[in-house]
Amino acid sequence: MANRKTRIRALQCLAAAAALSAFVWSVGSLARYGREARESQTALETMQALAVEGAAAPIGPEEGESSRSEPSEEGPPIQVDLDKAREVNEDIVAWIYCQDTPISFPVLRSRDNQDYLDRLPDGTRNANGSIFLDFRNAPDFSGRNSILYGHNMKSGAMFASITRYRDPAYYEAHPTLYLFCGEETYRVALFAAGTVSADSPLYGEDAEAAEAAIAALLRSSPFSSGITPLPEDRLLTLSTCSYTYQDARFVLMGRLVPLAQEASS
């Protein structure tokens, strides 16, 4: 009987120790998450101060709720000096921006799609990672469909805000992005969004299958843009994780329109 009680007490102690360990781990994870979010935000603001003129601090998920941004005939409301940004990291190939949203990020490109999953532009390890271009895409965005990846952070950081394009009203308020590529600046005319699988042909190298995936996305998009991409158009896809189902991705697609071309037309 005494041995049985001893075993019960031992099991109770083990259970309590396990619960305490789990609690400590949870608290530590939350603290690390918060610290890395702050470090990522500070690094971003430092980059913006260095390379961007006319940009305000990123807007949080709630702050931009009622704002509406119209494409300006005079061009984007900010200017970006990529040469200054590249003083921090030569892997920076562009800057992506959407007015009155949290999106104002340097775009990096490396030898693979792993380097910047958990690294900030300055190389610091951080779970927020960076926005990066698929390594298979040309750094001048000259291909048919250039893909940008970014995490869907619970804090609303990185590419979390693109999932809000599930709401047609959000598209109406933010129909345009800008892509700064040094010598060339593009208006990104958004035309479709939706959830796809991680192995969607949209990410593959089969051109015919990719075109079919783009057409399917256009048909199922939650908003109607009135834009149908032409075969000669260059496209941009923003991709982030979605939790709709396992290995789901949320994508936002737009057509690249050189501002110089618009100005001359």
CATH code for position 70: 2.40.260.10
Find the distance separating the first CA and the last CA of the chain, reported in whole Å: 93
Q: In terms of DSSP bridges, do strands 92-97 and 104-108 run parallel, antiparallel, or are they unpaired?
A: antiparallel
- Judge whether residue 114 has pLDDT over 60: yes
Quote the pLDDT of residue 12: 58
Q: Is residue 2, in this structure, part of any structural domain at all? A: no
Count the domains in the chain.
Answer: 1
pLDDT band for 29, please (50, 70, 90 cuts).
Answer: low
Quote the pLDDT of residue 11: 56
d(CA 191, CA 175): 8
Q: What is the average per-residue pLDDT within 41-55?
A: 89
d(CA 252, CA 256): 13
Quote the pLDDT of residue 60: 47
Q: Is residue 20, in this structure, part of any structural domain at all? A: no
Q: What is the average per-residue pLDDT within 196-200?
A: 97
Q: What is the average per-residue pLDDT within 76-81?
A: 94
Q: Is residue 138, in this structure, part of any structural domain at all? A: yes
Domain range holding 256?
51-264
Q: What is the average per-residue pLDDT within 11-22?
A: 53
Quote the pLDDT of residue 148: 98
Q: Is residue 66, in this structure, part of any structural domain at all? A: yes
Q: Is residue 174, in this structure, part of any structural domain at all? A: yes
Q: Is residue 132, in this structure, part of any structural domain at all? A: yes
Alpha-carbon torsion angle 196, 197, 198, 201, nearest 10: -80
- Judge whether residue 92 has pLDDT over 80: yes
Q: Is residue 26, in this structure, part of any structural domain at all? A: no
Quote the pLDDT of residue 24: 41
Q: Among 3-7, 21-25, 51-55, 248-252, name the one with the lowest average pLDDT.
A: 21-25
Q: What is the average per-residue pLDDT within 59-65?
A: 46
pLDDT band for 27, please (50, 70, 90 cuts).
Answer: very low
Quote the pLDDT of residue 18: 52
Q: What is the average per-residue pLDDT within 175-181?
A: 97
Q: Is residue 1, in this structure, part of any structural domain at all? A: no
Quote the pLDDT of residue 35: 87
- Judge whether residue 72 has pLDDT over 90: no
Helix, strand, coil shares of the chain as percentages rounded to 5?
35, 25, 40
* The model scores a pTM over 0.75: yes
Alpha-carbon torsion angle 46, 52, 55, 58, nearest 10: -40
